[in-house]
Amino acid sequence: MPECLTLKKSNCKNCYKCIRHCPVKAIRFSGNQAHIIGNECILCGQCFVVCPQNAKEIVDETEKVRVFLQSGVPVIASLAPSFIANYEGVGINSMRKAMKKLGFYDVEETAVGATIVKNEYERMLREEERDIVITSCCHSINLLIQKHYPGVLEYLADVMSPMQAHCSDIKKRFPTAKTVFIGPCVAKKDEAEHYKGIADAVLTFEELTEWFKSEKIELEKEDDSDEFSRARFFPTTGGVLKTMEERLPEYTYIALDGIDNCIAAIKDIESGKLHKCFIEMSACVGSCIGGPVMEKYHHSSPVKDYVSVSKYAGCKDFQVSQPESPEIKKQFEYIENKRLQPSEEEIVTILRQMGKFTPGDELNCGSCGYNTCREKAAAIARGKAEISMCLPYLKNKAESFSDTIVKNTPNGLIVLNEQLEVQQINSAARKIMNIRSANDVLGDQVIRILDPSVFINVLRTGRDVRNQRVYLAEYKRYVEQTVVYDRDSHLLIGIMRDVTDEEYEREKKESISRQTIEVADKVVDKQMRIVQEIASLLGETAAETKIALAKLKESISDE
């Protein structure tokens, strides 16, 4: 995992939103937790921006800067030109006053370094015979090329970023100084860490704002625009091009923002479709004023922010002491990410495990975060994803499980919507009602096949009916029915247990009992006649016989 990004595992809710928005799929899932793959991540910050549970955190370097301030050496801030969009109406002089209260020796604009970089770009195009030049101001774009498209590394301008050029200039003027870059970018923290000794620390606008709040420092509103500040345009899309004075006719000058657009252009370069181009690339849509740590990012106002930058920027360059070209050279090496490509056999095997046996089964719905099912299968083979991340797979699995239960239960099931239209009916219910096919009744009113009164009452009262025995005269069936209203799904569920055989058996037993009673009555009557004839002879014995026979009759009746 990149050192400048951390993950709070307890907050990760397995929503896959980060992988859906990651342009290079540098996130793997294990144990239902997201993990950033450091050697693939380009630190664009999208996972930080979109995470609904704030599971991604940017490492705060405020304490590191406090230590610098306490050390006694001069600490000078390089303030990114996008500050004017983040701190509306607050100019560089006001920022300088506020930050000096924190203990900074001075505050300068990174746009000074941007002017140095722009001058080097112009010299490069003018004096060197280059086919294609890709700007190297955006560290995320640099990482994108270094890690994922090394074939175009030769076209990446071997020039420091404005942050580095400015911090180098500060250290040339103040050899003992510590430099702190402040801006809207996550990737700059990694750039400072990787290229040591140039920018000593990096703070985000959010970190600076929290520091101001903790010290109860209020920023003053002021307008201190200056005509010698054209490089303040750098944090906008096309800002580099806007500051360039020379436009060579043999070159096409292009500005691209957003990683998807940049990747498309890189692929065109790889395929040999582009030549003689100067391409300004920014990972963030809108460039740096759309950065992941702009405080107003979640309520982004790209037009308003651009207007703020435009009003603050001048029409002439900062007056700088341009260093020699070797002093601001920067080498970009290929960063190997060791991505093993799975075999076709492995991919097919995983696709089958996901229930995808034909191309028609590959929905490419993107719910897992990958663009295609095959891309997802390859990620599973590399240990970056899990089969359970596939929504259609889980849906089919759940439906298959529930369908198995519904199909095999001996009870009849019928599901109605609130309009009493049949939504589902199983084979047991169709057998009870002599229905050949479910399609014969699906979508029709239940009154076609059943008396709807019980469903109407349950829907109206909200009280379920359980184990109610009824006779379905039209089907000559006895059923024990339960009707339940599911308020969450707004469905009525009817469960019917066929008790016809039980009912016929009960009636048979009752018939036998009646016949037995009738026989007993006849026996009693006959015996009574005999008793009367010999009453004089038997005396009290006759009365006892009558009592015994009466008890026999009662006993049979009870049965």
170-211 pLDDT, tens digit per residue, is: 999 999 999 999 999 999 999 999 999 999 999 999 999 999
Whether the CA torsion 423, 428, 433, 435 is positive or negative: it is positive
User: First-to-last CA distance in the chain?
Assistant: 80
User: What integer is the mean pLDDT of 46-56?
Assistant: 87
Q: What span, in angstroms and rounded, lies between the C-alpha atoms of 28 and 24?
A: 11
CATH 3.30.1600.10 at 409-498, yes or no: no
Residue 538 above 60 pLDDT? no
Residue 555 above 90 pLDDT? no
Question: Quick check: 56 and 32 in contact, CB under 8 A?
Answer: no
| One-letter identity of residue 411 | N
pLDDT at position 368 is 78
CATH architecture of the domain covering 1-59? 2-Layer Sandwich (3.30)
Q: What whole-number percentage of the chain has pLDDT above 90?
A: 62
Backbone angles phi, psi at 252, to 5 degrees: -100, 125
Cβ neighbour number for residue 335 with a 10 Å cutoff = 16
Residue 536 above 80 pLDDT? no
Lowest-confidence region among 61-65, 213-217, 290-294: 290-294
| 238-293 confidence digits (pLDDT tens) | 999 999 998 999 999 999 999 999 999 999 999 999 999 999 999 999 999 999 98
Backbone angles phi, psi at 222, to 5 degrees: -160, 160
Q: What span, in angstroms and rounded, lies between the C-alpha atoms of 375 and 347?
A: 9
pLDDT at position 232 is 97
CATH of 340-407, one of 2.60.120.10, 3.30.450.40, 3.30.1020.10, 1.10.15.40: 1.10.15.40
Q: In the structure, what pLDDT confidence band is assigned to residue 524 with cuts at 50, 70 and 90? A: confident
The kind and range of the H/E element at 372 are none
Could you tell me the residue ranges of all domains in the chain?
A: 1-59, 60-328, 340-407, 409-498, 512-558
Q: What span, in angstroms and rounded, lies between the C-alpha atoms of 421 and 221?
A: 65
Burial readout 381-393 (b: 16 or more C-beta within 10 A, e: otherwise): bbebbbbebbebb
pTM for the structure as a whole = 0.72
Residue 490 gets the label, from left (phi > 0), alpha (psi -120 to 50) or beta, of left
Q: In the structure, what pLDDT confidence band is assigned to residue 375 with cuts at 50, 70 and 90? A: confident
Q: In the structure, what pLDDT confidence band is assigned to residue 298 with cuts at 50, 70 and 90? A: very low
**Both tokens of residue 170?**
């500060």
